[in-house]
């Protein structure tokens, strides 16, 4: 009885025991190749897109703003913009109330 099967990936003929059962039939790939595939998939999937836009959800802390926005806000504070003006400029990202809260909690560092 020949229980052999060729792996579609490494092209090596192997025993059927070297193949996983998938949906009641044998996988196209041997176990080592199958695992390699899965690892590759797992590594690729969570990679964040560096060009992705900031999330729609409002940030809950000053530190969660992007570095550029943080720097710009610090700069605006240092040149005496009011929180209202800053909140107006960054209304997509920051609420006026948040700015006041962060200021009170001392979360906004001085511009250096
Ligand atoms: Zn293989």
How far apart (Å, rounded) are the C-alpha atoms in residues 106 and 96?
15
Tell me the residues surrounding ligand 1 (ion) with CB < 5 Å: 7, 9-10, 30, 33
CA 8, 9, 14, 19: dihedral to nearest 10 degrees?
Answer: -80
Question: pLDDT digit string (tens) for 72-105?
Answer: 999 999 899 999 999 999 998 889 999 999 888 8
Instruction: Show me where the domains of the chain are located.
Output: 4-40, 61-104
Question: pLDDT digit string (tens) for 24-62?
Answer: 888 999 999 999 888 777 666 555 666 766 655 554 688
Q: How far is the CA of 84 from the centre of ligand 1 (A)?
A: 63
Q: What is the pTM of this model?
A: 0.44
Q: How far is the CA of 10 from the centre of ligand 1 (A)?
A: 4
Bridge pairing between strands 13-15 and 4-6: antiparallel
Of 12-16, 18-22, 54-58, 93-97, the poorest mean pLDDT is in: 54-58
Q: How far is the CA of 9 from the centre of ligand 1 (A)?
A: 5
């Amino acid at each position: 009885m020949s229980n052999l099967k060729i792996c579609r990936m490494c092209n090596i003929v192997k025993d059927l025991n070297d193949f996983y059962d998938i949906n009641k039939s044998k996988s196209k790939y041997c176990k080592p190749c199958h695992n390699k595939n899965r690892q590759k998939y797992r590594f690729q999937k969570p990679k964040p897109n560096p060009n992705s836009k900031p999330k729609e959800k409002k940030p809950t802390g000053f530190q969660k703003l992007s570095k550029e926005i943080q720097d710009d806000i610090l700069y605006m504070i240092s040149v005496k913009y009011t929180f209202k003006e800053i909140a107006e400029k960054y209304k997509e990202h920051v609420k006026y109330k948040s700015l006041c809260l962060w200021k009170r909690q001392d979360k906004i560092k001085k511009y250096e």
